[in-house]
Amino acid sequence: MTEQAVPQQGFLERHRKVLLGALAVAIFFAAWQAVFLVVPFNPLFISKPNLILGSFYTLLIDGDLLRDLAISAVPFVYGFGAATVVGVTIGVVMGWRQRVGYALDPLMTIFYASPLVALAPLVIVFFGVGVSGKAILIFLLSVFPFIFNAQAGVRAVDRLLINVVRSLGGGERDLYLKVIVPSVLPYIVAGARIAVGRGLIGILVGEFFAASEGIGYAIARFGDLFALDKMFACILCIMIIAVVMTEGIRWAERAAFPWRVGQ
């Protein structure tokens, strides 16, 4: 009996965090909705949750939202994919070959520290407002987390394992495939989590600047049109996507590399 009673009693306590969080979100939206019972509502300045939900539904049904998202996703996939491949390669070599690390580290630090978004006008002018311009912007922004994390990962590789593989006659290729890649992977995934956020910035910058389609363009246009309910719907949509991607990677990290939990 007591064995059964304990988990039942603990339900509220165990899910306390989730419940409180949900409660807070509910209170937030309720307060947002309720405040306009007291304060006069000006649709040119602010929107209400029910209107936002309505236009979210409309945009979804019309397919506008999905079309914009699909258009924005293409350069993201190209840019982010290229950043993964190039960044991990450079990072692994930098971590593994000490002299390459010495040579490239200051250069990469300078690039990482400088707000590369500032090159956006140039990239757009040079490569145009299409897929290539946006993809290059996304690549530029998201490549550095991969480089630095891959490098840190390689440097954290257990020397003992390397010596073991070498003693047993493993070549350079065996080292890369059997020791370095498995131990570097968690670092790369952590880098991907940072890079996702920066990649999203890349999309938005590219599309705010000069685009005729895409989710960033939709937000800017609805803002210009004072269609605040639609703009809020798009903003919420981006927020959801960002949270799902970041938390999804975090979840994958916990599932795939449980020994790294807590780091």
Partner 1 sequence: MTDTRALKADIAGDADAPPRNPWRRLEPAAYGCASIVAVLVLWEVLPWIFTLSAGTKLFFTTPSQIGGTLWKMFATGSIWTPLAVSATGFAVGLGLAIVVGLPLGVLIGRSRTLNAMLDPFITAFNATPRLVFLPLVMLWFGLGLWSKVVIVFIGALFPLLINTYEGVRNADKTLINVVRSFGASEWDVARLVVIPNSMPYIIAGLRLAIGRAVLGVVVAEFFGAESGLGVMMVQAAGRYQVDVVFSGLIVFAAVSLLMTAMVQVLENRLSLWRPQQAGGE
φ, ψ of residue 44 in degrees (nearest 5): -80, -10
Least CB distance to partner 1 at residue 110 (A):
7
Report if residue 96 touches partner 1, rule: CB under 8 A: no
The Cβ-side half-sphere exposure at 91, using a 13 Å CA radius, reads 28
- The DSSP element (H or E) to which 42 belongs, if any, is none
Among residue numbers 203 through 262, which ones bind partner 1 (CB under 8 A)?
A: 204-205, 208-209, 216, 219-220, 222-224, 226, 228, 231-232, 235, 238-239, 242-243, 245-247
Report if residue 25 touches partner 1, rule: CB under 8 A: yes
* Residues 52-91 as x/- pattern, contact with partner 1 by CB under 8 A: ----------------------------------------
Q: Are 211 and 217 in contact (CB under 8 A)?
A: yes
- Please spell the DSSP secondary structure of 62-120, one letter per residue: HTHHHHHHHHHHHHHHHHHHHHHHHHHHHHHHHHHSHHHHHHHHHHHHHHHHS-GGGGH
Report if residue 156 touches partner 1, rule: CB under 8 A: yes
Looking up tokens 């040119």, which residue turns up? 44
Name which position in 5, 122, 160, 168 contacts partner 1 (CB under 8 A). Answer: 122
Region of 158 please: left (phi>0), alpha (psi -120 to 50) or beta. beta
Amino acid code (one letter) for 256: A
**Chain residues that interact with partner 1, rule: CB under 8 A:** 16-18, 20-25, 28, 45, 99, 102-107, 110, 113-122, 124-126, 148-149, 151-152, 155-156, 187, 190-191, 193-194, 197-198, 200-201, 204-205, 208-209, 216, 219-220, 222-224, 226, 228, 231-232, 235, 238-239, 242-243, 245-247, 263
